[in-house]
A and B are shown apart, each in its own frame.
Chain A
């Protein structure tokens, strides 16, 4: 369903602005990495759905309708309704906003903080590097979900705390990867030259080193996008993430969806499909991006 429009995007691209460098890069990417193009297409569709949610959703996502409780998919409610009679399709559409907000928020924050720490650690070296690395080791030992759980427990659960809870476990994972690429960049002649010219540490880190770790940064960023959406779904499912009645995919799987799974399986199936499809798309795109940018780097 969502795959065909992706191909349309790819074929329509050249007519938009002939001769532009961006378009030709895009075209090459699509031709060489068809899987990545499909992923990117699904991501674009998701962004559009999230942006135009009020116009696309047939019902109010939080409107309770006790007359239509647990109605199966049909012409009135395409994907059925939940235990409160809320339209599943509308909640899925609005849920994409939560997923994308948390996904992009946590991935951007986590990857950026990790990149700054990684580059700083590599640039300064010595004691700073040693202590930062030990701290990262300690954080890495905490399983992702346990760290997020503890942070939500400490800070209370609203959306910004949820983003923070997902961000913190990502920082050491990103810092580790970025540091190893930054270590080799530190030895480059242009960094020596910058240092000899008397530039400040800040300028060297921000202007000379950070732009050169862009490839691993982008790769970590796209990998984190999918992970953040998955983690948000898990936390919401546990009741530690987004709270009712906000529409969120993980939350839709909680409680009644499991209780009534036998009689009303649509409640349990569609939100899961939405989570899988979106993470799938981000991973497909991220994978191809990694292959294109840095074939030697292995991320999971």
Chain B
């Protein structure tokens, strides 16, 4: 087991390096760089010398491989550098947005889990009845509805029915938790619906599979209460794949909410990413992609460990 953990952990390193290399070279292929963008934005034209000088300041005039090696060396020392656009350190640029994205992801996950597990279990128990069909239609509709559109409709509904708009400025939860929730619950609902749909379908199919197992029949045959069979025997075993889906979606939420953030005017990681790509802010884009990829890889790693720990049939 210890050997498996170490091996699995070490496998994360080449993947991260691959991600780093891919985003580094991808950014360099994008036409235009930050110097050109800024110079053309400020005065309309700039002399060749000025542009060359600015490039040298960012180190963009050095050969690509040297830039890459230097960046990697910085990463190895956990030094992400400074944002090319604002000049602030990457850590301070990301910090507050990371908190917002994390909070939204946690809220959306709670919404999703609260909806998904009861619905999925009921659908599996009543397979092929109208209840099952209703749950399936509800969940397929959730996957089909773009969450950014659901967000627009939610805002519209609040505006027209209650003549009220959620607050537009982010308040950290430790300042005013109520205000904070009043703003973030709506995007969490919009995103959580789609998310719960994915989890509901997984819960349903995992439950269906488990309910056909021999040990469930044995439990029924020995006259155990149905409730106990469901919670202790079936649900516990069906939760593993559901956990995977929830984990992966959580990782996705940390960086993938570009559009929903735009609708709700949230200044999260997704917006920061779009801005950094538009500015050709190489250091910031690279740091963000690495962050999101790291979350994804770590969640995956933890899921694998959890599988090995929770399912005694899996031993490495």
Residues of A at under 8 Å CB distance from B? Answer: 35, 134-135, 137-146, 149-150, 153-154, 226, 230, 233-234, 237-238, 250, 253, 257-258, 261-262, 265, 268-269, 271-272, 275-280, 283-284, 287, 298, 300
Contacts and interface: CB of A to CB of B under 8 A. Distances in A.
A146 B292 contact: yes
Contacts of B297: 141
Given A141-B293, A146-B292, A283 B143 contact: yes
B256 interface: yes
A256 to B, nearest CB: 12
Nearest to A235: B259
Interface string B53-66: 00000000000000
A276 B148 CA distance: 12
B153 A138 contact: no
Interface residues of B, number: 50
B146 A280 contact: no
A216 B205 CA distance: 17
A35 B15 contact: no
Contacts of B202: 298, 300
A62 B135 CA distance: 40
A58 B156 CA distance: 28
Given A134-B15, A284-B140, 15 more contacts: A138-B15, A140-B296, A141-B296, A142-B292, A149-B258, A149-B274, A230-B146, A237-B148, A238-B262, A253-B152, A261-B155, A265-B160, A269-B156, A276-B144, A283-B144
B258 A141 contact: no
A31 to B, nearest CB: 14
Contacts of B256: 143-146
A269 B145 CA distance: 12
Contacts of B31: 154
B198 A300 contact: yes
Contact of B18 (A134, A153, A154, A238): A134
Name the 7 nearest CB pairs between A and B, nearest first.
Answer: A272-B149, A279-B144, A138-B18, A280-B144, A141-B293, A143-B256, A276-B145
B133 interface: yes
B289 A142 contact: yes
Contacts of A280: 140-141, 144
B146 A275 contact: yes
23 contacts: A35-B133, A35-B136, A137-B15, A141-B19, A142-B289, A146-B292, A149-B277, A150-B23, A150-B27, A233-B146, A253-B152, A261-B152, A268-B152, A269-B153, A269-B156, A272-B149, A276-B144, A279-B144, A280-B140, A283-B144, A287-B136, A287-B140, A298-B241
Contact of A238 (B23, B155, B245, B259): B259
Interface string B144-165: 1110111011011001100000
A298 B205 contact: yes
A38 B241 CA distance: 29
Dominant secondary structure at the A interface: helix
A48 B70 CA distance: 57
Nearest to A238: B259
B180 to A, nearest CB: 24
Contacts of A298: 202, 205, 241
A141 to B, nearest CB: 4
Contacts of A271: 149
A143 B141 contact: no
A228 B30 CA distance: 23
Most buried by B among A143, A238, A300: A143
A173 to B, nearest CB: 12
Nearest to A284: B140
Nearest to B288: A146
B153 to A, nearest CB: 7
A150 B259 contact: no
A287 to B, nearest CB: 7
A271 B26 CA distance: 34
Most buried by B among A145, A268, A279: A145
B145 A283 contact: no
B169 to A, nearest CB: 18
